[in-house]
Amino acid sequence: MRYPKDHGQHTRRRIVESASRGLRQAGADGLSVADLMKLANLTHGSFYAYFKSRDALVVEGLALAMDRTIVHWLSLTQGLPAGKGFDALVESYLGPLHRDDPGRGCALPALAADIGRSGPEAAAHP
């Protein structure tokens, strides 16, 4: 069976998105490569066709999580005065939606401690 030309790109993106959510839920140390691939409904054996290392996936998953966090923060504060923008951020950050679904929340609390204990590739990326 032939795959579409962009199948590899879509699959890689699916892995990163699944990893981003899984890493925020369980932390960088809480998921193995097999666990991360299972989240994307793929086999463990196919991992290295898309990534050179587990740390490479952790870096991309964290970057995606932070990009989405920043977009969310900007949407919450757009057009608001500074004080009101800060209040909107705090209210969202401490609200039940953020608290009850860490897989969609900010990556910093979930991953900050783990990144410091990760390999040099993950630790080198802000």
> Looking up tokens 């086999």, which residue turns up?
43
> Looking up tokens 């066709």, which residue turns up?
49
Give the span between the Cα atoms of 64 and 31, in whole angstroms. Answer: 17
- List domains and CATH numbers for the chain: 7-123 (1.10.357.10)
The predicted pLDDT at position 94 comes to 87
> Looking up tokens 């998921």, which residue turns up?
31
Q: What are the pLDDT tens digits along the chain (126 aa)?
A: 666 777 789 999 999 999 998 888 888 777 889 988 888 888 888 899 999 998 899 889 888 988 988 898 899 899 999 889 999 988 988 888 887 887 888 877 766 666 666 656 555 554
Asked if residues 51 and 119 have their Cβ atoms less than 8 Å apart, the reply is no
What is the separation of C-alpha 96 from the centre of its chain, rounded to a whole number of angstroms?
20
What is the separation of C-alpha 8 from the centre of its chain, rounded to a whole number of angstroms?
19
- Total-model pTM: 0.77
Give the span between the Cα atoms of 123 and 49, in whole angstroms. Answer: 23
The predicted pLDDT at position 106 comes to 80
User: Where would I find the H helices in 27-80?
Assistant: 33-39, 54-77
